[in-house]
Amino acid sequence: MSEKYKINDCIYYIDANNRVVFAEIYKVYDEINAYGTIDLKQFRYGTVHHNDCFEEERHAKTVIKQRKQKGNKDVNKKRNKKAN
């Protein structure tokens, strides 16, 4: 892990629905580079991979935008292949 978070650290992460969630880390899974988290808004437990964790909300939102742009490019490539 490049920047390891510790238990009781608060982070922002990107969930499966591409939403930014604010959570607290309650457990660290070193062997799979992930964290056990508690969503501080809905009080749900979850596991988040290190690549989806950020210290600032704006960083998470930037990554979401980049992923959407990459996804749009992939869709356009597939459409162009079908048209030809």
What's the pLDDT tens digit per position in 4-42?
Answer: 899 999 999 999 888 999 999 999 999 999 999 999 999
* Stated pTM of the model: 0.76
Would you give the DSSP letter of residue 39?
E
What domains can be seen in the chain, in order of their start residue? 10-83 (2.30.30)
Would you give the DSSP letter of residue 31?
G
In terms of DSSP H, where are the helices of the chain? Answer: 57-83
What's the pLDDT tens digit per position in 27-37?
Answer: 999 999 999 99
